[in-house]
Homo-oligomer: A and B are copies of this chain.
Amino acid sequence: MDPLRERMERLYPLCRSLTGDGVRESLAILAETVPLELRTAASGTPVFDWTVPPEWNARAARITDAATGRVLVDLADHTLHLVSYSVPFRGRLSRAELEPHLHSLPDRPDWIPYRTSYYARDWGFCLTQRQRDALGEGPFDVDVDTSLAPGELTYGELLVPGASVEAGEVLVTSHLCHPSLANDNLTGLTVAVELARRLAERPHRLGYRFVFAPGTIGSLVWLRDHPDVLPRLRHVLVLTGLGGGGPLVYKRSRPGDAPLDLAAAHVLRHRGGRLIDYAPYGYDERQFNALGFGLPAGRLTRTPHGEYPEYHTSADDLGFVTDEELYDALAAIEEIFGVLEGEATYRALQPYGEPQLGRRGLYPAVGGRTASEASMAMLWLLACSDGGTSVREIADRAGLPFALLRRAADDLVGAELLAPV
């Protein structure tokens, strides 16, 4: 079985939330591939405008028909059945008393919705509409065997160092708090870990830092923990929802024209992806882009949140994501990182007219035909390398892939026709 798929299958059934054993077990699986450093923040720790919540663990949760003893809804069947952060509860309820604690999707009668109640102390069950319709009149015995107690929030981190500290770092982050939802976000976690593994095996200029943390509060804890790292961050990329069909979608950072935005735009233009503007809703790009941090955070997804019916339901299962989608996302991200790594600015050394490429073996000998893409890449670099226009900018003007211009620039530097500035 594909190793990415195998990782997703093991992560899928774990009961993740903002805190708790499910998070720690998930991080342990990710740490089998790359060496993750685990960090914690104690419940009650103030984090900017927030506070680390109590640690939540769910041992069991079920609704039983009081008359027959039949179990009607059971956390053991699906992690989505229990509203995340449900407080402990045990009691016998009428149907009317139970109703406000139930969540289902009338339009999608076979799907279980995903609901949370992180900051309002409540309990609840999510179930299919068919289950709900068949509950009967009760009374019901409800058992929510959870604990909310002082504990800790856990996240995993890894730095794959670059050749030069001065070049700065790329932060890649993927939220870890969702339970059995495959696209959102086993895809992000799986692709990020594989990226880290690959980057660790080859040289690169920039450092790549990977963070796997629960959404919102987890990212804020990371931001609070790393005041020394923030000035070194050049680019922040949030990964999530990389399956589910359709082309890749890059969401621009709040400024909208950060180097990562321009690199991603370049790559997706050539790969047929889609760009969307920043909006202060979605995933943890909200925290990094916040005015106080001002970190340019873009986001790569395939299926933007809320734009697909399976979003935050049990239909976002392992079958909703294909291996091809994961590898396509990996290739796209590596291309984007290729632009960040290879970006440079040159000055033409023979600027008086076009240099004679032919006598340097850089141009076809027989004239009269139109130029190849490789020749065009050279001509564009020679025409525009004024010491202030970068290879990526020239590639965008030329409508040619960055990698082609990157290779041509190397050849032209070798021929002493370009010099880096």
Contact = CB atoms under 8 A, between A and B. Distances in A.
Contact of A379 (B219, B280, B358, B380): B280
Contact of A220 (B120, B353, B379): B353
A165 interface: no
A213 to B, nearest CB: 13
A47 to B, nearest CB: 8
Interface stretch (A237-245, A359-367, A401-409): A359-367
Contact of A354 (B286, B355, B365, B369): B286
A298 to B, nearest CB: 15
Nearest to A365: B120
A382 B280 contact: yes
A398 interface: yes
B366 A115 contact: yes
Secondary structure class of chain A's binding surface, majority of residues: loop
A234 to B, nearest CB: 20
B290 A352 contact: yes
A371 interface: yes
A287 interface: yes
Contacts of A48: 350, 352-353
Given A280-B379, A383-B286, A113 B368 contact: yes
Interface string A71-95: 0000000000001000000000000
A354 B384 CA distance: 42
Interface in A85-123: 103, 113-120, 122
B115 A291 contact: no
B115 A368 contact: yes
A214 B224 CA distance: 66
A50 B356 contact: yes
Contacts of A380: 279-280
A127 interface: no
A49 B379 contact: no
Nearest to A387: B291
B367 A293 contact: no
A386 interface: yes
Interface of A: 48-50, 83, 103, 113-120, 122, 124, 216, 219-220, 223, 254, 279-281, 286-287, 289-293, 305-306, 312, 348, 350-356, 358-359, 365-371, 376, 379-380, 382-386, 398
Given A280-B380, A290-B351, 15 more contacts: A50-B356, A115-B366, A117-B366, A117-B367, A120-B365, A216-B354, A219-B353, A290-B353, A290-B354, A290-B383, A291-B351, A291-B385, A291-B386, A292-B351, A312-B368
22 contacts: A103-B366, A117-B366, A122-B365, A216-B354, A223-B352, A254-B383, A254-B384, A279-B376, A280-B376, A280-B379, A280-B380, A281-B371, A281-B376, A286-B353, A287-B354, A290-B352, A290-B382, A291-B383, A291-B386, A292-B350, A305-B370, A306-B370
8 tightest CB-CB pairs across the interface, nearest first? A292-B351, A280-B383, A120-B365, A292-B352, A291-B351, A280-B379, A48-B352, A116-B367
